[in-house]
Amino acid sequence: MDHGIFLNLRVNFTIKTDILLYKYQLDEYPMRAQEQISELREKYSELLEGARRNETILRKFQNFEIQLMDSESLEEFLDQVICHSKEIFNWDYVTLVLVDSDYEIQRLFEQSDHEITDNPNLFFIHENSCLTRIYQGLLSPLLTRYQLEAHAILFPDADTQPASIALLPLLHKGRLIGSYNIGSNDKDRFDENAGADFLKHLAAVIAVCLDNNLAREHLKYLGLIDNLTGVNNRRYFDQRLTEEISRIRRSGNPSSCLFIDADHFKNINDTYGHQTGDQVLRYIAQVIKEQVRQIDVVARYGGEEFTVILLQTASEKAIEIAERIRQMIAMRPFEDENENEISLTVSIGISTLSAEEIQHAADAANRFVKQADQALYMAKNSGRNKTLCYDRDALLIEQVEVS
3-class DSSP state of 138: coil
| Of 132, 48, 116, 45, residue with least CA distance to 78 | 116
| Residue 386 near residue 372 (C-beta atoms within 8 A) | no
Burial of 12 (0-12, 13-18, 19+ CB in 10 A): exposed
| Of 394, 391, 374, residue with least CA distance to 382 | 374
| Residue 207 near residue 272 (C-beta atoms within 8 A) | no
* d(C-alpha 380, C-alpha 389), whole Å: 13
User: Cα separations (Å) of 275 from 268, 269, 270, 281, 381?
Assistant: 10, 8, 11, 10, 27
* d(C-alpha 131, C-alpha 155), whole Å: 13
> Annotated active-site positions, please?
304
| Residue 172 near residue 207 (C-beta atoms within 8 A) | yes
